[in-house]
Structure 1
């Protein structure tokens, strides 16, 4: 399973300048399990919210990109969304929640809410995880971090998504990204009290223990994850 740059179309000239505080864009979402990694796809017109009590990610890399997707409620009209793409070879997440709100005709706002990894010693586990994030708040700690690496020089294209001596997943050569653009990587990234908004999440594997899904009327505090 080769680690590759994922998700949506990316502007060649787009490079998101990130510093350690912003580098904490590593929360988790319910993803799509699509083999090695997801091919390019158009994202929906809705961001989703994700929270996590704790995320322990091994083999971390981050670089800028742009997702292309449909404008909400406009069908075929495509729009571009700048994102910070965070990649992990392997991640363990405790206390995960995801929510997305949809306007349903005649019913109003309906929130789809998912929870997993909420029981002790039963975390969510993901391999080859890619997160397209627009906003994040968290407390973070990085181990052996390199800031300012060229995207094409992030370490390790090994197939094993488990812990290795290398750092972040390699970015595969792709004319949709700026290979010499700004990136950063770390052997390990730990995040606590995570709140994020994202356009997409993909993973090679996503194991959701004690998955709980509910449809709830309304939106906002007390209904969504945050």
Structure 2
């Protein structure tokens, strides 16, 4: 039997999740997040960071609603994206560390070039926004978030809330804004970290 596939452009904003088919499903996610039912595993900093890659290949994908919480108590609704095994080609991560004392400062990390991708296991991202041309294999949309079983360890949401999962996900031209990333292992082949200032201080996108 041939694998079923779904294609499309993807963009998340706050509580909106990828390919949610109805407003009712979105409402269920927001309800759970507003009640504080779904929480991040650690306090996040007060700002987001950007991640880009030419291509992401992921075996075992799951998604559900979440909250990124700051130490101050501030809460940020997110789309939690979990991938059991991921490959990222030409990965770029950038953090805006600008301040009045130093001026514009951007920290960048590059890895996974030359056909040797960065790899991660049990990758979990608290996403604020994501863009890219996306293909899913054997996707299940509208599954109870507590029953998700393809996204790796602990990739589950609250019972009764909206979830979705797929056997495989491919994202071309990945661009995302995130509050946090965790992984069981994260191997950054050809790692290059650089502090960029002034005219050279440019983010990944």
Pairing 1:223–2:199 present: no
Pairing 1:90–2:85 present: yes
Task: Measure, in 2, the Cα distance between the counterparts of 1:169 and 1:51.
Answer: 22
Higher helix proportion: 2
Task: Measure, in 1, the Cα distance between the counterparts of 2:89 and 2:141.
Answer: 27
SS state at 2:158 partner: coil
Residues 60 and 168 in structure 1, CA contact (< 8 A), matched pair in contact too: yes
Alignment partner for residue 168 of structure 1, among 151, 172, 193? 151
SS state at 1:103 partner: coil
Task: Measure, in 1, the Cα distance between the counterparts of 2:177 and 2:88.
Answer: 17
Residues 59 and 186 in structure 1, CA contact (< 8 A), matched pair in contact too: yes
Task: Measure, in 1, the Cα distance between the counterparts of 2:79 and 2:144.
Answer: 15
Cα deviation 1:79-116 (Å, max 9, x = unaligned) = 10100000011001101000001134522121100000
Count of residue pairs the alignment pairs up: 174
Residues 152 and 171 in structure 1, CA contact (< 8 A), matched pair in contact too: no
Task: Measure, in 1, the Cα distance between the counterparts of 2:103 and 2:201.
Answer: 17
Pairing 1:55–2:56 present: yes
Q: CA RMSD in A?
A: 2.4
Pairing of 1:172-191 with structure 2 (within 5 A): 178-191=158-171
Pairing 1:208–2:188 present: yes
In 2 relative to 1, CA 186–99 (structure 1 residues): closer, same or farther, beyond 3 Å?
Answer: same
Q: Structure 1 regions of 5+ residues with no counterpart?
A: 1-15, 23-38, 71-76, 156-166
Residues 153 and 170 in structure 1, CA contact (< 8 A), matched pair in contact too: no
Residues 17 and 182 in structure 1, CA contact (< 8 A), matched pair in contact too: no
Pairing 1:136–2:119 present: no
Residues 112 and 118 in structure 2, CA contact (< 8 A), matched pair in contact too: yes
Q: TM-score normalized by structure 2?
A: 0.78
Cα deviation 1:130-180 (Å, max 9, x = unaligned) = 01000111000000000000011112xxxxxxxxxxx3336578xxx5222
Cα deviation 1:9-65 (Å, max 9, x = unaligned) = xxxxxxx5634289xxxxxxxxxxxxxxxx821100110011000000011000001
SS state at 1:78 partner: coil
Pairing of 1:32-181 with structure 2 (within 5 A): 40-70=41-71, 77-120=72-115, 122-155=116-149, 167-169=150-152, 171=154, 178-181=158-161
